[in-house]
A and B are shown apart, each in its own frame.
Chain A
Amino acid sequence: MTVADFFGCTFLAFGPPFAMFVFTIAHDPIRIIILIAAAFFWLVSLLLSSTIWFALVPIRNYLEFAIFYTVIFQEVFRFVIYKILRKAQNGLKKITDNSATFIENKHILAYVSGLGFGIMSGAFSVINILADSVGPGTMGLKSGNEMFFLTSSCISLCFILLNTFWSVIFFNACDNRNLIHSGFVVCSHLLASYLTLLNGVSSWGCIVPLYLILIFTGCLAFKVVGGSIASIKSCLSFK
């Protein structure tokens, strides 16, 4: 029955991002290009992080340190994307058909690049585990428990969504020079990454705070893009 495990975990981790891709990105070629460009920049940050990890042989086994500089690299590259997209904005204007919504709502750019960032990071975090979930066995023989695959998928989903929200907040913070928001992004990224270390000890102790952070970040992002309680109400009222 481990094939069921594999598909269940895949649907859990990549179902929501896939839905987002299908409904909000797939219809516009420019968005797809930006998504892939963002994913590429995440890969570049991974390359640099792993080069450093590989070079620093003595502290290779101290993940606490590795987490710190990998998060910093990711945030630096988020800023790089931001700069590039802002520079490319005038060029993009010329080649898009429906430039109106695209350019007018600058949050769309942030959302698309954030999702690209997130999908790639989610893929890398869970794909090794998913590959192993197909085999005849499950976790729990030496360490961990049977819920390991499920919790890993949950964590991976959490990071995909978090990256999307972080990009939205971060881009806006850069536009408005809001240091508090950009600081929040870096700090919450660090915090969330360190929380994953708890997965080995207790999976609930890891997942619950991660999803609390996700909800808070989501609310903040929602507020940043102009949402409010009133807009939710009017949205739900179906007039």
Chain B
Amino acid sequence: MNTIKQNILVFNILFLLQFPINSYGDRTKDKMYEEISSSNACFRRLNGTHQIGCSSKRGGSTGVIHFCETEKDLEDIIVQGTGYPYIPILPFKLFNHAALHLMIDSNKISGLILHTNNEPVDVIKNFTHENQCPNPYSSIDGTCKKESVWNPWGTGLLYFDIPFPIFYVERTEDVGLIRECFVKFNNYSYQEHADRSLCSLELNSFMYATTNSPTCIRRSSIVSNLNPQKFCDPLGDSNVWASLHPLAEGPKKNETKPIKDYKYIVIAARLDTTSLFEKTSGASSPITGIVTLLSLAKYLNDTVRLEDVKAGKKNVLFFLFNGETYDYIGSQRMLYDMLNGNFPIPNANDTDILPAIGPEDIDLFVEISQLGNINQKLYVHYLNDGKVVNNFVNKLTNTSSPVPFEAVPNSLPPASLHTFLKNSSSFPGLVISDHKTFYSNHFYNSVYDNSSNIHFKYYNLTTEEISVIPKDSIQYFIKNITEIIGRSIYQEITGHGYTGDSKVDLILVNELLYCYLEDPNCKVHQAVHKDLNLPKIPLALYVGVKGQEHNARILTSLTLGWFTGKTVGQGNINCTNKFRSYAFKYYNMSKSIYDLNVTMCYQVTMNATEAVSPAFSIKDYDWSSGQYSSWTESTWKELNVRLFLKPSANQGKMTMAIGCISMIFSFLLVYFIKSRSHILFVPPIPTDAPTDC
């Protein structure tokens, strides 16, 4: 780079601060570093007793790249390489317990990059870093036995404290860039690595929190520390709930009267998933559950009339629990609120808006778990075989339908129901899932649980072309089970079978799946949220931390509100200005996905309650008790990956030597010239200094 260009650069940078003009501004730095933009970091989480996940050193961990195609490559570089620390680039299939331990024990590894290697899901076979028994501390003892675990492929690495940073590089171009650099600089004579410049990576994912949640909360509190920096945040967001028909009468003159003596059928599903990295997928769990719950809400809204509910004194509640992956945060909080009389609203017994609902008011709890495996029948798991549960299981199993149901008594996969059963063993609940003794989903809580895992293919159709969707598709599957569950619930409320001809809209199921799996700007989301403009990547379904904008939850709650709400006239500006309370909210939403431009005013019962573990609000909570979820997420400043060329030690030594020699030499020379300047420079003949030239 030349002098003038550098001169100009300084000013260029000053000016660029004010004018966003794309101009000649490449600094030396830009030529030295290549940002790997599609990287997803693994970050650190903490619970009451441990820390899990990864963290880099402060300012970033650096290491020499080594591409590994086989396990032997990894072993070789650990044994032979002299330029350590190394950062191996591994395809996902090589990432397992053995490899990780090899890397940790060698002390020559400073970070790890994972990539998909463009392999399709069916080559990978299985990829799940969840425990073999998910949520082991908050589930009921004995529901996950050693000889028959729910998630047999689980490595448990998600709950491992890894001493170096790990990133997942998503785009193949970025992996190609790293490979190119590796081949050019590193991929020969490994024994001489120490003597030459090597292609390296800097992984920066420094985590502020450490040790465990109580430590980190204590350090973050202003009382014990004058520096008010937050080191970690509790995991949590909001639970979403809605009732099929309003829980209150009215509104008359802006006043509502709670309907108090009803019993409730709860239909629940979880709203979140997780993965080792920032990016999540979650097709089978939780998206199939969410979509089934949403279409069930729509179906029941079409079939169960207000009179039926009034006659049977039974209403339906839809619960979407958030944070269930991390020791049932959402359901624990919901139950805690119920037991303290804070559900559906704080101090529900004292306020005359909505009836207080407790676990004893719940007649039946139907939880929809993973439903991604379309080739099998469905299984109804339950622990407590009370009368209501048995009746309902019979209704499901006896219907002659395209999808057979099988009852699995004395069994309970990881589900929100655990929380309620822990509180009272006679709680009437069951879980509907696609697996009997172990998950049929080989990618539980991983980035591979994507649309191809549940064989989803989107069909952009109108109602007339509905026959294009094959009968063995996930769309049909969900439509069928929604109808079966829906009719059983109809019967549970009214006492007689459903005779109408209402059907679940296959196109709607198709659209709903598309919303979660491919494009969040889909028709359903357009209908419930005007002027939506999200990037065309699936919405993150990680629970996140309190206070974060959680688009998936917001859009799901609006969709649930839309499906359970009722129209109160044309949509206009007055609609949203109507009197709002906990009982009712008003939204302008489209009439249907076929008439997106026809806006109606909807009265919606949907609401949200906080889904943050009670452990964080109970004073002097015993963190080691394990009673409530205690997960927190560390804070960080930046997450990034840069590719660069690491200079060899010899080069630094040489530069230093040249610099020092030239400096010492110049000192001697200048001193010499100065001391003998009267001889060296002949003094000029004294003249009067010119005053003008």
Listed in ascending order, the chain A residues whose CB lies under 8 Å from chain B are 1-5, 7-12, 15-16, 18-20, 22-24, 46-47, 49-50, 53-54, 57, 60-61, 63, 66-67, 70-71, 82, 86-87, 89-90, 103-107, 121, 124-126, 128-129, 132, 135-144, 146, 148-150, 152-153, 155-157, 159, 174-175, 177, 193, 196-197, 199-200, 225-228, 231-232, 234-235
Given the known inter-chain contacts A136-B646, A141-B199, please indicate yes or no for A227 contacting B682, CB distance below 8 A.
Answer: yes
What is the number of residues of chain B that contact chain A, defined by CB distance less than 8 Å?
A: 70
From A20, A46, A132, contact of B11 by CB (8 A): A46
Whether the Cβ atoms of B8 and A66 lie closer than 8 Å is yes
B99 at interface, CB cutoff 8 A: no
Whether the Cβ atoms of B4 and A175 lie closer than 8 Å is no
Given the known inter-chain contacts A136-B646, A138-B647, please indicate yes or no for A46 contacting B663, CB distance below 8 A.
Answer: no
From B15, B645, B670, contact of A23 by CB (8 A): B670
Whether the Cβ atoms of B651 and A1 lie closer than 8 Å is yes
Whether the Cβ atoms of B2 and A124 lie closer than 8 Å is no
For A101, the closest partner residue in chain B by CB is: B683
Query: What are 29 A-B residue pairs whose CB atoms fall within 8 Å in the complex?
Result: A2-B652, A4-B656, A10-B659, A16-B670, A19-B671, A23-B667, A54-B11, A54-B12, A67-B2, A70-B8, A86-B689, A90-B691, A105-B684, A106-B684, A124-B7, A125-B6, A132-B28, A137-B33, A138-B645, A139-B32, A139-B645, A140-B197, A141-B34, A146-B197, A146-B645, A152-B1, A159-B3, A231-B680, A234-B679
From A24, A126, A144, A157, contact of B6 by CB (8 A): A126
CA distance A51 to B267 in the complex (A): 68
From B24, B62, B645, B682, contact of A141 by CB (8 A): B645
Report whether over half of chain B's contact residues are helix, strand or loop; otherwise say mixed: helix
From B29, B666, B681, contact of A135 by CB (8 A): B29
The distance from the CB of A225 to the nearest CB of chain B, in whole angstroms, is 5
Which of chain A's residues have a CB closer than 8 A to the CB of B183?
A: none
> Given contacts A142-B34, A157-B662, A227-B681, could you give 18 more A-B pairs where the C-beta distance is less than 8 Å?
A12-B662, A12-B663, A15-B662, A23-B670, A23-B671, A89-B691, A106-B684, A136-B60, A136-B202, A138-B647, A139-B32, A149-B655, A159-B3, A177-B693, A200-B1, A226-B681, A226-B684, A235-B679
The distance from the CB of B467 to the nearest CB of chain A, in whole angstroms, is 55
Given the known inter-chain contacts A8-B658, A104-B684, A228-B682, please indicate yes or no for A141 contacting B670, CB distance below 8 A.
Answer: no
Which of chain A's residues have a CB closer than 8 A to the CB of B686?
A: 104
For B655, the closest partner residue in chain A by CB is: A8
Whether the Cβ atoms of B670 and A24 lie closer than 8 Å is yes
Given the known inter-chain contacts A8-B655, A23-B670, A227-B682, please indicate yes or no for A54 contacting B15, CB distance below 8 A.
Answer: yes
For B29, the closest partner residue in chain A by CB is: A132
Given the known inter-chain contacts A1-B647, A141-B181, please indicate yes or no for A9 contacting B655, CB distance below 8 A.
Answer: yes
B649 at interface, CB cutoff 8 A: yes
Interface residues of B in 589-644 (CB under 8 A from A): 642-644
From B62, B199, B663, B676, contact of A15 by CB (8 A): B663
Whether the Cβ atoms of A124 and B651 lie closer than 8 Å is no
B9 at interface, CB cutoff 8 A: yes
Which of chain A's residues have a CB closer than 8 A to the CB of B648?
A: 1
Whether the Cβ atoms of A129 and B28 lie closer than 8 Å is yes
CA distance A152 to B658 in the complex (A): 13
Whether the Cβ atoms of A23 and B200 lie closer than 8 Å is no
Whether the Cβ atoms of B31 and A144 lie closer than 8 Å is yes
Whether the Cβ atoms of B674 and A86 lie closer than 8 Å is no
Which of chain B's residues have a CB closer than 8 A to the CB of A228?
A: 682
Whether the Cβ atoms of A226 and B682 lie closer than 8 Å is yes
Q: How many A-B residue pairs have CB under 8 A?
A: 239
Whether the Cβ atoms of B6 and A4 lie closer than 8 Å is no
Which of chain A's residues have a CB closer than 8 A to the CB of B100?
A: none
Which of chain B's residues have a CB closer than 8 A to the CB of A140?
A: 197, 645
Whether the Cβ atoms of B10 and A19 lie closer than 8 Å is no
CA distance A2 to B15 in the complex (A): 30
CA distance A142 to B6 in the complex (A): 19
Whether the Cβ atoms of A63 and B4 lie closer than 8 Å is yes
Which of B2, B646, B683, B686 has the most chain A CB atoms inside 10 A of its CB? B2
For A71, the closest partner residue in chain B by CB is: B4
CA distance A207 to B653 in the complex (A): 21
CA distance A211 to B200 in the complex (A): 35
The distance from the CB of A13 to the nearest CB of chain B, in whole angstroms, is 8
Which of chain A's residues have a CB closer than 8 A to the CB of B23?
A: 60-61
Whether the Cβ atoms of B10 and A138 lie closer than 8 Å is no
For B34, the closest partner residue in chain A by CB is: A141
The distance from the CB of B688 to the nearest CB of chain A, in whole angstroms, is 10
Which of A1, A105, A144, A156 has the most chain B CB atoms inside 10 A of its CB? A1
Whether the Cβ atoms of A1 and B31 lie closer than 8 Å is no
Whether the Cβ atoms of B653 and A1 lie closer than 8 Å is yes
The distance from the CB of B121 to the nearest CB of chain A, in whole angstroms, is 34
Given the known inter-chain contacts A18-B663, A137-B646, please indicate yes or no for A129 contacting B684, CB distance below 8 A.
Answer: no
Given the known inter-chain contacts A1-B653, A141-B643, please indicate yes or no for A155 contacting B4, CB distance below 8 A.
Answer: no
B260 at interface, CB cutoff 8 A: no
From B7, B644, B667, B692, contact of A50 by CB (8 A): B7
Whether the Cβ atoms of A142 and B31 lie closer than 8 Å is yes
For B691, the closest partner residue in chain A by CB is: A86
Whether the Cβ atoms of B31 and A196 lie closer than 8 Å is no
For A14, the closest partner residue in chain B by CB is: B663
CA distance A204 to B65 in the complex (A): 31
Whether the Cβ atoms of A11 and B31 lie closer than 8 Å is no
Interface residues of B in 183-217 (CB under 8 A from A): 197, 199-200, 202
Which of B681, B686, B690 has the most chain A CB atoms inside 10 A of its CB? B681
